[in-house]
Structure 1
Amino acid sequence: MAGDDKDWTWVLDRRCPDCGLDAGAITLADVPGAIRAQIPLWPEVLHRPDVRERPDPGTWSTLEYAAHVRDVFEVFAGRLNLMLTEDDPLFPNWDQDAAAVAGRYGELEPHDVSLELQRRGASLASDFDAVTGEQATRSGLRSNGSVFTVLTLAQYLIHDLVHHAWDVTQGRAGHEGGDVAASPARTDPGAASAAGVVPSANDLADGGPSVVEDGSVDGTTAEAGPAVDGEPSAEAAPQKDLPPIQRFAHEHRLAVGLTLGVLALALAVLFAVATPDSDAGGFSGFVTRWASSLCWLLVSGVAVSWALRAKRTTTNGLAWLGIACYACYLFFRAG
């Protein structure tokens, strides 16, 4: 199956015209309930007699979509953990089409997929239960450079789930309304909002797309399977929660860090050459002669370790050494 090469991060900025979800309106408090609201659909649709059948060669079967959603829960649990335990982690790339082939999604047992999907979904909802408001702005980067915060990652996830439910119900012929009972999110805007799923004004009023109870990770259409995780376009990357300078630094981390490292190294050399010998002797004279150069050398080390995503303890250790070195320089120079 040919992968969908669209970049679906735009759903964070505007309503999805297919599934009707306004992902950007979801708050962090909505997320656990929104995840739990997506789970009940899948055991029901996995009982369909045609669960293994594809509507056409380019569209996944209900079973393949369910197996994908099962793995979505696992992947996003891993990404959330990285964001909460590391500074600006880079997510491992996940080629969803390759995962479907390697995992032989179409040959799995629907009952097994259903049980594991429910387990992983409940676990991820519990993970988001534990996320605090202060952690909502912690960030991470996808392999194509798109910057996510914990909040935008969660919003992206919920759209993914909602859209995949649309894919297996309203999104394919013969299942408009399908064999699944209408959910609270489809019939009651208040219940939908409480679950973290916000339908559009047209969803219930004029026959626009209903908000369903499941969706898609990197987004899919009815014509193709989900997109590969490292989409080529980052034009609509979910960066609206970050200041412009921080966003630029995230997107160009390697170039920014190495450039700053080279500049700091040049200053270290300059101070080593240009600083005159101190009149003081012994250790005091040594410190006032070389401490400035050493400080800039440590600053260079901080910049390079940040650029190369070294362990946080390494970067912090170099920074504290630089501060200590400069403090010693000021102390002995004043004396």
Structure 2
Amino acid sequence: MSTIEPDTRDWAAVLDEGCEECGFTGNEDLLGVRTTIAEAAAAWTPSLGAPNASERIREDRWSTVEYAAHLRDVLTEFRARTLLMLAEEAPTLPNFDGDAVAVESDYRSQNSADVLAGLETAAAAYAATLADIGEDQWRRTGLRADGREFTIASLTRYGLHEVQHHLHDVTSPDVTSPDITA
């Protein structure tokens, strides 16, 4: 069994630069983002239903199940971060090491049906939280441990990038970078 090298890129840079790989611009409309997140799990159903969903097609890339498990956990984390930003003034956001979580949670051996159910739950919960955000709350802030400031709006767009990019990871065979940290 091979080990995937940890990804050290600061993926939050896509908020400023966009992402050529998946087409994310960083300027997406927040109402559209909420809808996309709410519908995220449905987009994964065909990929997770494939007979090879648990197989790593390349040694340096996660399987579809691993990417979906990561997305499930990212959406859960982003919802928790959003709730924290709503509850506290400029909190320090908890660290999320996607590589460590993947190993600790043993993404590689998770069942695709269970992962899909968890992704459905996480996407619905995060979308419901976003649906309750008032216009003035989108500007509330939180700080990542490295000092990067997010507003609820930018964190939500970053969540959209996760949804969009990871679906691209499993549906585009020419993608070359393992995107595994949030």
Fold shared, TM-score > 0.5 on shorter chain: yes
Q: Given the alignment of the two structures, is residue 49 of structure 1 paired with residue 51 of structure 2, yes or no?
A: yes
Partners of 1:28 and 1:136 within 8 A in 2: no
Q: Counterpart of 1:223 in structure 2: which amino acid?
A: S
Name the stretch that deviates more: 115-124 or 6-15.
6-15
The structure 2 residue matched to 1:21, chosen from 16, 20, 24, is 24
Cα displacement (A) at 1:225: 4.3
**What are the within-5 Å matches in structure 2 for residues 227-242 of structure 1?**
227=181, 229=182
Q: Distance in 2 between matches of 1:39 and 1:52?
A: 17
Q: Distance in 2 between matches of 1:125 and 1:82?
A: 16
What residue in structure 2 maps to residue 200 of structure 1?
none
1:32-71 matched pairs, under 5 angstroms: 32-71=34-73
Offset at residue 6 of structure 1 (A): 1.0
Question: What's the secondary structure of 1:117's corresponding residue?
Answer: helix
Distance 1:223 1:22 in 2: 18
Paired residues of 1:3 and 1:225 also in contact (CA < 8 A): no
Shift of 1:50: 1.0
* Deviation per residue, 1:95-153 (Å, 9 max, x gap): 11010011011111111111111011011101000001100110001111110000000
Give the distance between the partners of 1:38 and 1:49, measured in 2 at CA.
Answer: 20
Classify the secondary structure of the residue corresponding to 1:18. Answer: coil
Instruction: Supply the distance in 1 between the matched residues of 2:55 and 2:18 (Cα, whole angstroms).
Output: 30
Q: Does 1:129 align with 2:83?
A: no
- Name the counterpart of 2:99: 97
Cα distance in structure 2, aligned partners of 1:14 and 1:91: 22
Deviation at 1:91, TM superposition (A): 1.0
TM-score, scaled to structure 2: 0.93
Do structure 1's residue 226 and structure 2's residue 177 form an aligned pair?
no
- Out of 4, 11, 15, the residue aligned to residue 14 of structure 2 is 11
Q: Which has the higher contact order (CA 8 A, sep 6+)?
A: 2
Q: Sequence identity, in percent? A: 36
Aligned to 1:199: none
Gaps of 5+ in 2: none
Matched position secondary structure for 2:76: helix
Structure-1-length-normalised TM-score: 0.51
Shift in Å, 1:42: 1.4
1:90–1:142 contact (8 Å) kept in structure 2:
yes
Alignment check: 8 A CA contact 2:76 2:122 kept: yes
Aligned-partner Cα distance in 1 for 2:176–2:91 = 32
Deviations 1:205-244 (A, max 9, x none): xxxxxxxxxxxxxxxx6332413x5xxxxxxxxxxxxxxx
Distance in 2 separating the partners of 1:226 and 1:13: 19
Instruction: Measure the CA separation in 2 of the matches of 1:225 and 1:134.
Output: 32
Q: Secondary structure at the match of 1:140?
A: strand
Give the deviation of 1:93 after TM superposition: 0.9
Number of positions where the alignment pairs a residue of Structure 1 with one of Structure 2: 179
Shift of 1:15: 2.9
Q: Which residue type is aligned with residue 140 of structure 1? A: G
Q: Give the aligned residue type for 2:12.
A: T
Query: Is structure 2 residue 9 aligned with structure 1 residue 2?
Result: no
Q: Deviations over 1:242-297 (max 9, x none)?
A: xxxxxxxxxxxxxxxxxxxxxxxxxxxxxxxxxxxxxxxxxxxxxxxxxxxxxxxx
- The CA RMSD over aligned residues, in Å, is 1.4
Q: Secondary structure at the match of 2:139?
A: coil
CA distance in 2, matches of 1:225, 1:10: 13
Q: 1:132-211, aligned counterparts within 5 Å? A: 132-170=134-172, 172=173
- What does residue 110 of structure 1 align with? 112
Name the residue aligned to 1:265. Answer: none
Gaps of 5+ in 1: 174-220, 230-335
